[in-house]
Structure 1
Amino acid sequence: MKSPDAAPPLAVVQHRGVTLMPAIAERSGGFQFSLGAFDAVGDPVTGVAHRRHGGVTVPPAPPAAPPALRWSGPHLYAGVVFGQFGHFVAESLSRLWAMRAAPEAALVWHRHPAWTAPGLSRWQQDVLALAGLGGRTHRFIDAPVVVDDILVPEQGHVMGHVLHPAQVRALGVHPFRAPQAGRRLWVSRSALAKANGMIEREDELEALLRDRRWEVVHPERRDVAAQLALYEDAEILAGFEGSAFHLLLMGRDIRARVLLLDRRLAPAQHRTYDIIAQALGFPQERLSVALDPVRGRGNTGTWRLQHPAAAAAALDSAAGAP
């Protein structure tokens, strides 16, 4: 097997006179949105397409007339801004490996159609600052626009498929120190909005874990830097599969052992967590617990934990003595 450092280099392609079209909500290549760009002769710029789990977005129809808007100066295509935390870290920053190499270029973003905020949220700005993009110029494609000069880098992370070592190095900005011996953290989903995929009776599991000397944390109540500082002190980091664990992409020299409870995600989504653990070099184990379906499916589905006591015992057994 080739070592990660033997991976082929990622590509950056320079284009001139590119027309960028806003992302629109529609079924496209396995996604719920389409986006695209066209070169000076009207052919699609394939590097702008977004990839995930083997799917790829397809471009919308080209503009019927030349856009009235034009941007001059150096630009770099940054990707798609997602409003969901895990997807922002894992996917919006998937071209980070190339962004810092062009410090004078304005970063050009597609907005995911579900993200309707007028600008970047506070936590998105915090993530960008930690990633070394604080103070950069960000431009959003809200109408068809011609860009005179734009660099289009390849995605360094395609969820469920590949995580390139160049992307690992670029995103791993937070060095982890040695963890506190015996510190076991449960990363809770119990305070999230119901639309984010709930586990009913997780609160019962958490009460049992506290009795067993686990610390229960709600990461969304802390800023991003505080979340990373919290995780680096853990010897055991556990929770139901979810976005909180994508933040480990911003870590380096991670010492924690990660225990993930299976949330009945699709196989390609499971692979994303496995790929991250392998690329970053930390041990990870997935545990299966009995869940009953309540409503929905996938990331936003709600499940009911059948036996909180059995789940607590399984976590204790996998974690070992504190």
Structure 2
Amino acid sequence: MPEGHCFRYAAGPITLEPHAPEAVDTAERLEGRWLYGGLLYGHFGHFLCETTSRLWALDHVGEVDGIVFLPKNQMTHERRHFRHHLPFFAAMGLTEDRFQIRAPQAPVVIEELALAEPGFGIGDMIEGRPDFRAFMQANLGRDVGPDGPENIYISRSQLPSKRGSVLLETLIEKRMEDAGYTVFHPQNHDLAVQIATYKAARRIVSLDASSLHLAAMIISPETRVAILNRGPTNNIDDYIAQFTRWQGRAPTRIEAVKGVWYPEGRRLKKRETHATLDLPLVCKALVAGGFLPKGTTWRAPTDAQLNSAVAAMSDRMGQPLQFLSGKK
């Protein structure tokens, strides 16, 4: 059915029309009423934007026994697809004691399946349909109160090097800490702590990062957000659009990329680059946006600091790096 297709871009679905499976006499039968969830992603950012996109329909389709997803990959045990996402479903009130999650690895027969349009996604779908925004804002972390510092800097410095980031982010962290910010590494905290921290924050400064999708869903309308572009992708556009729609105002956008580093002799993969930022320009933009006190200035890193950072990243990636100037 066309309603079962999954979308990422406006050009067309990312799913294919399937061939009918061969009749299987021993096919598992899922009794009851189920919501079709679309494609189940392991990556948290894609999970938030694409796997959750049909949950809004739970407000409209009546009682269901659970959600059945298409598994993105084949695994021996289907629970491996979603066990790390169970805290998210629990944070929505969809706990395992009353709500089943399935990602079948073989054909199943479902007694009744409710199909709904995706209400959220990346690119053209990042703002979310009103039903989806209302559902998430009413349910996500509904039992979690605000708990954390008022000023946070969301860091990528402890993520694997292949994820891409900026060089010398620890220098940015130090300067933000000097200004009274707490450095926050989302991946080091469980979902409840992340939700509580974002709810408590009144100023958030971050590189463009998938953790911002969660923050945009739950922060206070009064919270001020600044996002630093970290490279040659256009991912920052999604975060700006999401916050603008969900929060009712645009975040401060900071463009300060001087160039990017990537493995020598290889094709540039935009998501895996490490940028150098114009730190005095970053500081100027943060002061202008009210994120740093007036009169605050940042010095540019020395050549020795930059060379050391490039060498360290080269060691982490196991190959020399080359530089591409400007935002391409």
- 1:179–1:142 CA distance, 2 compared to 1 (3 A): closer
Question: What pairs up with 1:204-283 in 2 under 5 angstroms?
Answer: 204-251=171-218, 253-264=220-231, 266-267=233-234, 269-283=235-249
1:92 aligns with 2:51: yes
How many residues were matched structurally? Answer: 275
- 1:141–1:203 CA distance, 2 compared to 1 (3 A): same
1:315 aligns with 2:286: yes
1:74 aligns with 2:40: no
Question: What pairs up with 1:4-83 in 2 under 5 angstroms?
Answer: 45-54=1-10, 55-63=12-20, 65-68=22-25, 69-71=27-29, 72-83=31-42
TM-score (norm 1): 0.75
1:289 aligns with 2:256: yes
Say whether the 8 Å CA contact 1:185–1:234 is kept in structure 2: yes
- 1:313–1:118 CA distance, 2 compared to 1 (3 A): farther
More strand by share: 1
> 1:133 is aligned with what amino acid?
L
Moved more, 216-225 or 49-58: 49-58
Structure with higher RCO (Cα < 8 A, 6+ apart): 1
Partner of 1:24: none
- 1:48–1:208 CA distance, 2 compared to 1 (3 A): same
Say whether the 8 Å CA contact 1:168–1:280 is kept in structure 2: yes
Q: Deviations over 1:176-223 (max 9, x none)?
A: 98999x932110011111222222211111112222222211111111
Q: Counterparts of 2:75 and 2:232 in 1: how far apart (Å)?
A: 23
Partner of 2:316: none
- 1:155–1:86 CA distance, 2 compared to 1 (3 A): same
Root-mean-square deviation (CA, aligned residues, Å) is 2.8
> 1:75 is aligned with what amino acid?
W
TM-score (norm 2): 0.74
Partner of 1:110: 70
Q: CA deviation at 1:266?
A: 4.1
Say whether the 8 Å CA contact 1:80–1:112 is kept in structure 2: yes
Q: CA deviation at 1:290?
A: 2.0
Q: Deviations over 1:26-49 (max 9, x none)?
A: xxxxxxxxxxxxxxxxxxx11111
Q: CA deviation at 1:118?
A: 4.2
Q: Counterparts of 1:108 and 1:289 in 2: how far apart (Å)?
A: 43
Larger Cα-atom Rg: 2
Say whether the 8 Å CA contact 2:154–2:183 is kept in structure 1: yes
Q: Counterparts of 2:185 and 2:292 in 1: how far apart (Å)?
A: 24
Partner of 2:114: 151
Partner of 1:302: 273
Q: CA deviation at 1:228?
A: 1.5
Q: Counterparts of 2:232 and 2:275 in 1: how far apart (Å)?
A: 15
Q: CA deviation at 1:70?
A: 4.3
- SS of the residue aligned with 2:131? helix
More helix by share: 2
Q: Counterparts of 2:193 and 2:146 in 1: how far apart (Å)?
A: 16
1:169 aligns with 2:134: yes
Q: Counterparts of 1:145 and 1:117 in 2: how far apart (Å)?
A: 15
Structure 2 residue runs without a partner (length 5+): 263-267, 294-328
- SS of the residue aligned with 1:157? coil
Structure 1 residue runs without a partner (length 5+): 1-44
Q: Deviations over 1:237-282 (max 9, x none)?
A: 1111111101125416432111111123544x44422332133224
- 1:178–1:149 CA distance, 2 compared to 1 (3 A): closer
Partner of 2:90: 129
Question: What pairs up with 1:183-202 in 2 under 5 angstroms?
Answer: 183-202=150-169
Q: Counterparts of 1:265 and 1:280 in 2: how far apart (Å)?
A: 25
Q: Counterparts of 2:172 and 2:274 in 1: how far apart (Å)?
A: 14
Partner of 1:25: none
Say whether the 8 Å CA contact 2:167–2:276 is kept in structure 1: yes
